[in-house]
Amino acid sequence: MPNPSARSLTGLWCTAALLLGGPCSAAAAAHRSAVFDANCSMCHQLGAVGVPGQFPRLAGRVGKIASTAAGRSYLEHVVLYGMMGTITVDGTAIVGGVMPSFASLSNKDLAAALNYVASLDAAGKLHWKGPVFKPAAIARVRAGKPLSPRQVHRLRTATLGKGKR
Ligand code: HEC
């Protein structure tokens, strides 16, 4: 783990506990998602609070990006095809960060992960539900033209602009 904070130690502990099939009673995790915790939290951290300069905070940000149809489409492309290219989040550039493709997950699981992060406030606590990502919408993006991780980065710039988010 790049950041030896109490939170990432908690994340490591939870990952180990979940792998062993045991319970994970992390005080830090206010609201849980099986798909996110298993596939995304090792980078984005429990509660999707991120690591500045390395892994973008999704909590409190994705819900805003998802408030437009173009924003939702961008987010669906990110989880399906990954992303590569510098982005600036919380005033800090993430240089050389690579978001892997999660095309191996089902449309249902991808929708669940996106709905989870869209529902979180900046502190990683449950804030609101929706706008809702539907498995059918993920399926439509999957059936369309695949993008490279760099093309997804260009889609981000076209959708959100270069400004801080
Ligand atoms: C191996 C580490 C890693 C894993 C695992 C990972 N991500 Fe990411 N994610 C990143 C990085 C790094 C970026 C920023 C990429 C860049 O700078 O181009 C990112 C970017 C994103 C973004 C775009 C944020 C923005 O500001 O535009 C979303 C949404 C996202 N990830 C969601 C997820 C979800 C959902 C999962 C689990 C299904 C996941 N990530 C798993 C590393 C990861």
- Position 3 scores a pLDDT of 44
Lowest mean per-residue pLDDT among 29-43, 60-74, 132-146, 150-164: 29-43
Higher pLDDT, 91 or 7: 91
Q: What is the pTM assigned to this prediction?
A: 0.84
| Arithmetic mean of pLDDT, 107-127 | 91
CATH class of segment(s) 6-160: mainly alpha
Higher pLDDT, 115 or 129: 115
- Give the Å distance between the CA of 155 and the centre of ligand 1: 15
For ligand 1, atom 39, name the residue with the nearest CA: 40
- Contact between 44 and 62 under an 8 Å Cβ cutoff? The reply is no
DSSP label at 49?
-
Under the banding of pLDDT at 50, 70 and 90, the label for residue 8 is: very low
CA quadruple 50, 54, 55, 61: dihedral sign: positive
Provide the mean pLDDT of the chain.
84
For ligand 1, atom 11, name the residue with the nearest CA: 99
- Using the atom order of ligand 1, give the atom closest to the CA of residue 83: 18
Pocket of ligand 1 (CB under 6 A): 39-40, 42-44, 55-56, 58, 62, 75, 78-79, 83-85, 87, 89, 94, 97-100, 102, 113, 117, 153, 156, 165
Which residues, other chains included, contact 107 with Cβ-Cβ below 8 Å and sequence gap of 6+?
135, 136, 138, 139, 142
- Position 128 scores a pLDDT of 73
Beta bridge partners of 27: none
